[in-house]
Amino acid sequence: MADDTLVGSLFPDEVLSAEAIPEVRRADLYDEEWNCVARAVPKRQAEFCAVRICARRLLARLGFFDYPLLPNKDRSPRWPEGIIGSISHTNGYCAVVAAKAGALVGLGLDVEQDSPLKPELIRLICTERERNWLDNQPESDRCRLAKLIFCAKESAYKCQYPLSKAFVDFKQAELYLDLETRKFRAIILKDLGERLSPCLSISGRYDWRRSLVIASAFLRKEEIAKS
């Protein structure tokens, strides 16, 4: 059963989750972790600490007891071999998800404030098809749904990145939202290289909880293979 966090029930059952309020807790970090943010502003330090402490709890449940979670050069988190995970933070809230790689081979989490996307950003985030879809939604909902598209695309990006190492622009992903089931599919329009299928399709779920919009993305093994 999913952990009792805001994000947990948006992922398959085998995915563990932890959440926290951002707080600077230097003593709870490994020195190597703290060194990554020693010169950062307090807000960044607080978020970085909170997610490392969350990740530590999850990694212990997965059998890793002494593992500093350091960022790669590209800022993606360096999970232990055989572990997949994802991190997100926003004002006042941080969350981490992790699982043993197996049937699932990728995880993505994004959490944003539930506020409307600035209208001028819609052209940068949404494809023509998505803009047409938004135009058919009630006007009062459009910018809030555009924020959901942004959030879902970021979750899909984090999900595919450890497998592809590819930067994918917002316009290179096409999002299909089902407003009834609160599920989505993100189709990556960019070629992600030899190992991944063309037009990779990433499954996801979303919800609005408290004052947040949350998107989960996950890839199953059979979905990634090039046929």
Ligand X SMILES: CC(C)(COP(=O)(O)OP(=O)(O)OC[C@H]1O[C@@H](n2cnc3c(N)ncnc32)[C@H](O)[C@@H]1OP(=O)(O)O)[C@@H](O)C(=O)NCCC(=O)NCCS
Contact 106, 79 (CB under 8 A): no
Nearest residue (CB) to ligand X, 23 versus 139:
23
d(CA 8, CA 111): 12
Nearest residue (CB) to ligand X, 142 versus 153:
153
Contact 13, 50 (CB under 8 A): no
Closest separation between CB of residue 144 and ligand X, Å?
17
* Residue type for position 177: L
Nearest residue (CB) to ligand X, 89 versus 142:
89
Closest separation between CB of residue 7 and ligand X, Å?
11
Which pair of structure tokens corresponds to residue 58? 């999850």
CA nearest 225: which of 189, 195, 190, 180? 195
- Angle (deg, nearest 10), helices 128-135 and 142-164: 150
Nearest residue (CB) to ligand X, 180 versus 203:
203
What is residue 120's three-state secondary structure? helix
Nearest residue (CB) to ligand X, 48 versus 206:
48
CA nearest 34: which of 46, 22, 21, 20? 46
In the chain, which ranges are continuous DSSP H helix?
31-37, 42-61, 122-125, 128-135, 142-164, 221-224
CA nearest 98: which of 3, 198, 227? 3
Closest separation between CB of residue 119 and ligand X, Å?
19
Nearest residue (CB) to ligand X, 71 versus 116:
71
Nearest residue (CB) to ligand X, 125 versus 138:
125
In 17-127, which ranges are continuous DSSP H helix?
31-37, 42-61, 122-125
Closest separation between CB of residue 3 and ligand X, Å?
19
Contacting residues toward ligand X, per CB under 6 A: 47-48, 51, 71, 74-77, 87-89, 110, 153-154, 156-158, 161, 168, 170, 173
Closest separation between CB of residue 60 and ligand X, Å?
18
Closest separation between CB of residue 140 and ligand X, Å?
25
Closest separation between CB of residue 86 and ligand X, Å?
6
